[in-house]
Each structure stands twice: as structure tokens, then as C-alpha cells.
Chain A
Amino acid sequence: MSVSGPRERAARLLRCYPRAWRARYGEEFTELLIADLAERPRSPARTADVIRGGIAARLTDAGLCGFAPDGTERAGQRARAGLASLACCAAVFLGLGGAIWSQLTIGWQWSAPDATAAVTTVVISAAMLLLAGLALLAGLPVARAVAVRIVRGGARDLLGPSALFLGGLVVMVVGGRHFGNGWPGTGGHPWAHPGPVPGGVAAFCWASTLSVSSFWAHPAALAAFPPAELTWMALSPLALACLVTGAAAAVRRTRALAGRAALRGPPGPGGLRHHGRVPRRGLRLDRRPVAATGGPVPPRRDRRRRARRDGPGAGRRLPGGAGRAMTPSRWTRRRVLTLGLAPAAVLACAAAGGTELVARGILPGRTLLDGLEGACSVPEPPLAFSPLGPSIDGTFSSAARRRTVGYTIAYPPGRRRGDELPLVVMLHGYGGNHADALVGMSPAQALALQPGGRPLAPMALVTVDGGGGYWNPHPGDDPMAMVVHELIPRCRRLRLGRRPGQIAAMGISMGGYGALLLAEKYPDLFGAVAAISPAVWTSYPQARQANPGSYASAAAFAVGDVVTHAAALGRRPVRIAAGYGDPFYPGVRALARALPPGAVVALGPGCHDGSFFTAQEPPSLAFLAGCLTS
């Protein structure tokens, strides 16, 4: 026994078919289904057959294949449905083209494109411009018709869609101008900023594509955005939805499209809409729209005159409403779309918002999200080591840090204490110490690395306890002074880094920042610097929020800001590396822009995690080895 009766089941199956088909065949088809259901209560084959038939009928309805629903050759209706399908395809293409275009222009800002990419970008820009121009031309008659109807009065059902459209448009344009037509967080659009692109044009693109280009590929970049930009970015998809919904409703409710099209079909507000019972007569291309009574609608001028005579209320229901009035079902396509789109939009917003909160670290799960996106997947480098050299652990009492600090001095393979060697000062990350300054390897292993199959040039490496104060001076604890005035003289007494320019600074995360800081403050002491995922904040409030112990004060932050003091590095060799998924990515990007030309900047996929650190250690050490021995 089935729970629902055969009539209900038949009605459910009938829903596979489009409305026009149901209006024509619904009754008899239901009777057939009921009889069939009575005979064979369960038949998956029948269900599949009905669904297949429904899909075929819907494709036919959309003008994409087959015979017209009621069998008569209604070429006009089919042509119009086909045109509407074509318009939908063009709109989808425009959206996707915008996404691709935005990706290309963003890429342009990151690095100058090669000739092929430049040509591609220019061609796509031209195509976008052409399509946008065509869309504007196509939209003008609709806009004019809507405006005329509203001005004439008696088109109250157009007020809502128009307001929705204009509201969305205003938000988009104002938002676009807020960004100065530049991409948020990427330093401006190369053409739009000084160029002729009017405010708001780029807004249309960022609204639909920023979520793809910026949110997904580089979620960490958002951390540096001001709240106003984030608000506009959250608003823009909503505004875009309002704009599209308003425009679609306005087009449906005017007969502007149908009225101006060369092919005039039976009554319908345009688009893919079909009616309950379409008049059974062949379509003539010059036929005027048919009113509810079935009689021809008088020409436009007469209608206008009659509307004026009858007062505003008379013309309120446009001829397109006639078909609706005759429709037996309350479930008009518009209602279904509205009821279906609203929850879908809410769901999409909730999903996007949730993803954003996770990506920004407000909700837990950031690492999982990055893992799912593949943002953190860094290929493991093949690590090969020569036989290790010796290493010495020790402690000394630091006056600058007012405590005893531990250190490790590692020697390269085949060397021992007393040999004269260049020196790498390796600074550990937050929460680390002299023993674990390198990730995934010991100091002695680091010097025995064979990046690219060749051993590193011989150099010593020293690590030391620097606490959790980001290597900058704090009251009562100055790790920077400890390194410069206590550790390095100690090493020099051991014949390490004795000659000028034979000392390099290196570090990971907090240590990466520390290495840059030391090199900027003591440019004569350090001949080279390599920073892996350096902890570069873009503002003091951000630094204090993330780690209250990072700086003693805003003044200390300003003094220790490695971005604003980057010029102090002069012509010293610098290598910095960071992953797109690194929360410090915005700061590293700002630093990369501030660095003197010639600096090695390695930005790529990866996060602020061990796999990225380990992958960057061999190239960083090789870089320093090359600088110290040449």
C-alpha cells in the first residue's frame, strides 16, 4: 500500500512537465497515469520514462529541441524561446568572462605579464567591453519603456522592480567608487585608476568575482582589509542580486522586449514564459498581442489613448497579465522563482559568510578550510644531507636579556671548532628556542644540506634563545642587543663571521621578522638576510591584537616596522618567502614592494606552517651561502 493515492502520485509525476504542456495534455495524461498506477503500483521504469519525457518537453519548451508543445508550428514562440535561451547563455558567458577578466587583471598587478598574457588580457578586455556595450544597448529600450510607463502613471507593478534595480545599481556604483575602481587589497587597478574606466564599472566585476579571486585563492589577504572595504564586499553580491532581480522583473512586466522584437508571439510578458491555454492558431509574424478576451489588442497608440481615458487604474494590468489570469495554477513561474531564489540566496549568503568567518579565523576550522582548498599543500622537498659536522651547545648570562640564554653553534661537514667560517645567525620563531630554530632539521643538518644535489658552501650557524618578544627591544629584555653585543662577539672570538660582511641573518616567522629587523638596524654588521614567512604586521593594533607581547608600545612598533625602514637594507642581498595562505601575507607583500630592487621575493602557495618552512629552508640557506662566500 502506498501512502499517497494514485491521483496525488500522478500529480507529482505530472510536475515533471512544463506548464504549457500540462495545460494541453495534463488532464488526459493524469488519467492515463492513474490507470497505469492502478495496474502497476510500483514501476521505477515508468517514473524514469515520465521524467525523461518531462525533460524532453522542457527542452522543447525552451526552444532547444523537438516539436512545439501543442504540435502546431508556432515558429515565433519557439524562436523567441530560443532567443531567450541564447540571452541566458550570453549572460552566463558575460559573468564567467568577467571572472576570467578579473583574474587576469589581478595577475597583472602581481607581476608584469609576458607578451601572450598581455595580449590575452587586452583581447578579453575588448570582448568584455563589446559585450557590455551590447547589453547596454539591449537594455536601453526596456529602461525607456519602463520609464515611460511609470511617468504615464498606471504602472505600479513596475515601481517595485525599478526601485530594486536602481537600489542595487546605486550600491554597486557607490561601492565601486569607494574602491576607486581598484581591487580591494591589491593596490588598485592598473588601468582604471588613472584611466578612463568610470567609477562603478569595476564594481560590477568585483561583486561577482571577488569571492572567487580574492576570498578563495588568498583568504589571508582579507585580514588586512579595512572594515569599510569588507562591508562593501559583503554588500556587493546582495546588490548584484537586487539589480538582476529588479531588471528581470521589469523586463517580465513590460512588453518592451516582445513589443520591439521582430517576432511577435502570443501574449506573454516575454522570456520563456508560456501560458495556460495558448490560442490554437498559427503565429503570424506581424500579429498584435492578443488580450484576455482573445480579441486583438488595439495598436499601441489606441491603448495609450484608452488608458488615459479610463484613468490610471485601467492600464494597470498589462496585457501580459492576461495569460496569468487564465492560468489554472497559483504556482506561477515567478512565484516559484521568488520562493526558490530567496532561500537559495539566504543559504548562499550564510555559506559565504560562514566560510569567510572561518577563513578570517573568527570561527575555528581555518586550517581545515585551507587544507580543503589545497592552499597549504606544499610539496615536500627531497632533503639530502652530507655527513654532519659537529655542533656545540652552551649557555651564557645575557645582560641585555637579564637572564641565562642557551645557544647552539653548528659547523659544516668536515669542519670543527676553531676553523674560520662565515656565520649565519638563525633566529627562532614564536614559542621556540635555540634548539628548534630550524623546522624539520637540526642546525648541523641544515649545514649538511645538499640543495639541488650539491653541498652548501661551508659556513657556521648559530641559534640562541630570544624569548617571545619578536626580537625587538622591550623594557628589561632586549634580544636584539643580546644578539649584536653578546652573541656575535662570542662567535667572533671563535673565528666565526670575523670579516666584514661575513655574517648573515636568517629566521622563520617571528625570527624572520627579527632577521629583517637586525639587518635593517645593523646594516654594516649583516651582509645578507633570508626571512621565511616573516611575521610582518601592517599596523600596531593588529600586532597587539594578535600578540600583546609583540611590541612594548606603538612607538616601538613604528621603530621596528621593517616595511617603512626597508630602505636601510640598501643593496644587501635579501630573500623573503611567504605563502598566499599566510596570515602575514599582506604585510609580506607590502614589504616586497618596499624592498630595494634585486631582492628575491618567493611568494607562492602555502600557509604559515611547518611544511612551508621546511620547503623554504634549503633555498634560503643556499641563498645565504652564495652571498657569504662570493
Chain B
Amino acid sequence: MSENKALDGFGRYAGPATLILASLAGGAKHGYALTKDIESFAGVRVAPGTLYEALARLQGQGLIEPVESQDRRRPYRLTAAGATTLQAQLDAQRRVADVGLRRLAQGWGPA
């Protein structure tokens, strides 16, 4: 789990951070596009203040970077470090999901 350290300092921002990284894995996006994309695949609407707090932190960690653009809406893209972190985070989540699903399928039922 050591490769997962990058998101450790995020605390309650780890959720938005994972969502943002996952969204940017599909290509560079600006703030509003990120919100819409996350809403479409996760069903969660990240509020503007929370979004930019997470963006600032992710950028500070070097997990994402701004793309030079003439547009007032600055897009961000995933860095290599960001891709690694996302991979580790999602692997961990998948392990949890796998275990949970398997156990549900095996044993759980109204006793």
C-alpha cells in the first residue's frame, strides 16, 4: 500500500481527488467539464469550492498540471505521477470491492 501514500494527506478530499484523477484519465478537462464528467460517471456533483481545493492540492502534489491554453477556462491533465497514484488508489478500492462482493455472494442472507 506504500504506493498509495500520495493521497494520504488528502483526508476527506481523497474522494474528490480520486474522482478528479479518474476523470482526467480520460483526457484534459477544465473545471466545469470535470464537474459534468464526474456527475455522469459517479453520480456525484462536486461543488466548486471543494473542486478547486482538491485541484490545488493535486497540483501541489504534482499529480495534475495545468495545460497552457488561450481559453479563460484552464484545462488540467494527469501527470505520470498522477496516473500511478490513481492506479494504486483504484487497485486498493477494487480489492475492497472484490472482497465485499465475493462475501456478499457467498454467505450473506436473511438468517
Chain A interfacial positions (CB closer than 8 Å to B):
25, 27-33, 35-36, 45-46, 49-54, 56-57, 66-73
Contact = CB atoms under 8 A, between A and B. Distances in A.
A54 B72 CA distance: 21
Contacts of B74: 27-28
Interface stretch (B17-25, B54-62, B77-85): B54-62
B73 interface: yes
Contacts of B53: 53, 56-57
A71 B55 CA distance: 9
B49 A53 contact: yes
B47 interface: yes
A58 to B, nearest CB: 12
A29 B60 contact: no
Contacts of A73: 60
B56 A32 contact: no
Nearest to B60: A71
Interface in B5-55: 30-32, 35, 47-53, 55
Nearest to A16: B49
Contacts of A28: 30-31, 72-74
A53 B74 CA distance: 19
Interface of B: 30-32, 35, 47-53, 55-57, 59-61, 72-74
Nearest to A29: B52
B35 A32 contact: yes
Contacts of B32: 31-32, 35-36
Nearest to A27: B72
Given A49-B47, A49-B49, A50-B49, A29 B56 contact: no
A53 B72 CA distance: 21
A202 to B, nearest CB: 49
B9 to A, nearest CB: 9
Given A31-B72, A49-B48, A49-B49, A71 B56 contact: yes
Contacts of A31: 30-32, 72-73
A29 B30 contact: no
A49 B61 CA distance: 23
Nearest to A69: B56
Contacts of B50: 49, 53
Contacts of A36: 32, 35, 48
23 contacts: A25-B55, A27-B74, A28-B31, A31-B72, A32-B30, A32-B31, A32-B51, A32-B52, A32-B73, A36-B35, A36-B48, A45-B47, A50-B49, A51-B49, A53-B49, A53-B52, A53-B53, A54-B49, A56-B53, A69-B56, A70-B59, A71-B56, A71-B61
Nearest to A33: B48
Contacts of A57: 53
Given A32-B48, A66-B57, A73-B60, 15 more contacts: A27-B74, A28-B30, A28-B72, A29-B52, A35-B32, A36-B48, A45-B47, A46-B49, A49-B47, A49-B48, A49-B49, A50-B47, A53-B49, A70-B59, A71-B61
A283 to B, nearest CB: 14
A25 B74 CA distance: 9
Contacts of A49: 47-50
B35 to A, nearest CB: 7
Given A31-B30, A32-B32, A32-B35, A46 B60 contact: no
B97 to A, nearest CB: 28
Contact of A67 (B48, B51, B60): B60
Q: Which 7 residue pairs of A and B lie closest in terms of their CB atoms, listed nearest first?
A: A53-B49, A71-B60, A32-B31, A49-B47, A49-B49, A71-B59, A35-B32
Contact of B60 (A45, A54, A72): A72
A52 B54 CA distance: 13
Contacts of B35: 32, 36
Nearest to B62: A71
Given A28-B74, A71-B56, A71-B59, A46 B48 contact: yes
Contacts of A71: 56-57, 59-61
A50 B48 contact: yes
A33 B55 CA distance: 15
Contacts of A51: 49
B78 to A, nearest CB: 15
Contacts of A66: 57
A26 B92 CA distance: 35
B11 to A, nearest CB: 11
A32 B60 CA distance: 20
Contact of A68 (B52, B60, B72): B60
Contacts of B51: 32
A62 to B, nearest CB: 16
Contacts of A56: 53
Contacts of B30: 28, 31-32
A219 B73 CA distance: 61
A32 B73 CA distance: 8
A103 B62 CA distance: 54
B44 to A, nearest CB: 13
A626 B72 CA distance: 91
A55 to B, nearest CB: 9
A51 B51 CA distance: 13
A23 B97 CA distance: 42
A89 to B, nearest CB: 25
